Structure formats: structure tokens, C-alpha cells
Structure 1
């Protein structure tokens, strides 16, 4: 039962779903840059959904259909090509968002994700770090940085996200997908990279 719950949490808060979740949360927050039309929000979400979920999943699916690639994402080395493809698709999303007359925060959210994946990719060459925790840590970093930069009280949202991070991290350990060190490292990298991009850019 516990492992089934852990698996469900890993699927619901999968790294490829976190960007869309982040954009949805941002668009329904009280920040001034949410004051854009509903049509604009739909178009932005479509770009994010395609570049951060649909295209990476299609890419992984196609690799699994070939005999050349024997993907076992439990192995660090087998994560390199999927992560590289994912970084490229994320950057495409950033590129297309850059063509739209929208607030910079939407573009910064994707480029910070690209930077996070690039760092994870370098680490993954030698060590299997948790992408799940980097994703949720990045989401927390974004909203923490926005709260600090705009003097906004986001304690409730941040508390919920921290609870989710704890549950996801525990799930990854229970499923024996990562060690505690890999979970903590992923969270810290996601948190630092995304918060610094929002605070400094």
C-alpha cells in the first residue's frame, strides 16, 4: 500500500509535469504579471505543455522503440540522452515564449529549468541525482524568490510545496530509486538555480 502511494506521488509530481504545474500556479497567483488575457494564458500553457511534457515523452517513447537504445532510467548513464533531449525541448519552449509580448517571468521560469537540467546532466554522467527533487525544489525556489523580490507573503503556498517535496523525496527513497543524499542534492540544486535566476536576472 505504501509503495503504491509512493509510485502515485512519483507519477503525479513527475519532473515533466512540474513546469506546467508551476505555470498554472503562477497564473492563478496574486502577482501583477498574472494580469494577462485568458487567451494569452492558454497559448502560454500550450507552449509549456508541448515543450516540457509532450515532446520529451514522444522522444523517450521513440527511443524505447529502437533496438539501439536500451533505456533503463534506473541507471544514471541511461538518463543522459533523455535529459539532453529534454533540455533542448525546454529551450525551444523558452525560444517560442521569447517571441511573445509577455512578462519576463514566464521566460525566466523555463530558462531556469534549462539551466537546472544542464547541471543535472553534468552530474548524471557520474552520479544518479534525483530529477524529481530538482523539479520540485526548483518550483519552491521560484516562488520563494518571487516572494522575496516582490515582498509578497507566499508562506501558505511555500508550506504546501515543502510538504509535497517531503512526500516526493520520501517516496523516491522508499521506492529505492535514490539514496537520501541524491534526494537532498537534487532538491538543493533545483532550489538554488531557480531562486538565483529569479532574484538576479
Structure 2
């Protein structure tokens, strides 16, 4: 029972979903008026590029025997998916969320790109930072930054996200997917780019 619950946590809070959750969170909290057609188009585009396309690429890589599982358990398995994901994030930045339209989301995805490239560099040197922690920590920092930027109270959301971060870390440790240091490094790889980039949009 415990194994199934912890596996479910890793699946539900999969790293692929975090950029989309960041976009949804932004649109749900921003006080700015965004026309409904624009909002729907952005959400649709981000969903296709950051969730659907990576899933299709994963199945292609699995067919070509470049990866063994969706969790990318070895550093060698990680390299090509991370590189492809970095290219997808660049496409999002150029075509979907350019800086002059929604700067908050633009810099959020810049942070995601920096974290992805850092994770790729770590994989090259055979260090397996937790992608789950990278993605969730990046989303967490962005949500906190939005609360400060828009002067809104999201204390309940922050508390919930702290619980989720703890649950993800527990899940990855219990499943022996990562060591504690890989989780800690992953947390900071996700959080620090978002923190540093606050200077450009807050």
C-alpha cells in the first residue's frame, strides 16, 4: 500500500507537469486582464509543447531503446531527453511566451531552461540530480515570487506545496530513486535560477 502511494506521488507530480502548472497558477492569480482566447491559446500551446510532445518523444526514444523507463534512472538515459527538453523550452520562449507579452512567464521558463541545462551538465559528469525536485522547487519559488509581485496571500498554497515537496522527496528516497544529496542538489538547481531571475521581473 505504501509503495503504491509513494509511486503515485512520483507519477502525479511528474516533472513534465510543473511548467504547465506554473502557467495555470499564473493565469489563476494575475490581476491583469488577459483576453480569454489568448489565455486558452497559451494554455493549449504550453500543454502541447511541454507535456504532449515530450511524451511522444519519450515513446520514440523508448522504441529506439535510448531509454528504459519514464523515470530516466541512469545519467546516460537522461542526456538526450534533457537536451530535447531544453530545445522545447527554447521553442516555448520564442513562439509562445516571448518577453514582451508576459514577462513573468518568460522569466519562469528562462529559469526552467537554466535548470534543465544544469541538470544536463550534471548528467554529463555522472551526477543524477533529482528532476522531480528540480521541477517542483522551481514551481514553488515561482509561486512565492508571484505572491510577492502581485501582493496576494497564498499562505495556504505555500503550506500545501511544502507538504508536496516533502512527499516527493520521501517518495524518491523510499523508491531508492535518489540519494539525499541528489534530492538536495535537485532542489537548489530548480530553486536558484528562479530566485536569481526575480531581479528581472519583480
Normalised by the size of structure 2, how large is the TM-score? 0.90
**Corresponding position: 1:91 with 2:67:** no
Q: CA 1:127/1:101 → structure 2, altered by over 3 Å: closer, same or farther?
A: closer
1:191 aligns with 2:191: yes
SS where residue 28 of structure 1 aligns?
helix
Name the CA distance, whole Å, in 2 between partners of 1:148 and 1:100: 20
Which residue number corresponds to residue 148 of structure 2?
148
Aligned mates of 1:112, 1:100 — CA distance in 2? 13
- For residue 15 of structure 1, what is the aligned residue in structure 2? 15
2:75 equivalent in structure 1: 76
What residue in structure 1 maps to residue 35 of structure 2? 37
Q: Which residue of 2 aligns with 1:181?
A: 181
Aligned length: 198
TM-score normalised by structure 1 residue count: 0.90
Residues 126-174 of structure 1: CA deviation (Å, up to 9, x unaligned): 2011000000000111122233344443322211111111111110111
Long gaps (5+) in structure 1? none
Q: Distance in 2 between matches of 1:127 and 1:98?
A: 31
- Alignment partners' CA distance in 2, 1:70 and 1:163: 31
Tell me whether 1:164 sits opposite 2:192 in the alignment: no
Counterpart of 2:165 in 1: which secondary structure? helix
1:127-142 superposed matches below 5 A: 127-142=127-142
Cα distance in 2 for partners of 1:87, 1:62 equals 17
- For the 8 Å contact 2:99–2:106, the answer to whether it is kept is no
Taking a change above 3 Å as real, the CA distance of residues 162 and 199 of structure 1, as seen in their structure-2 partners, is farther
Moved more, 14-23 or 130-139: 14-23
1:32-80 superposed Cα distances (whole Å, 9 cap, x missing partner): 24x212211111111211111111111111111125x254521112111
Contact 1:149/1:199 (8 A) holds in 2 = no
**Deviations along 1:2-25, whole A, 9 cap, x unmatched?**
111111111111000111111111
Structure 2 unaligned regions, length at least 5: none
Residue correspondence of structure 1 range 41-120 to structure 2 within 5 A? 41-67=39-65, 69-71=66-68, 73-98=72-97, 102-120=101-119
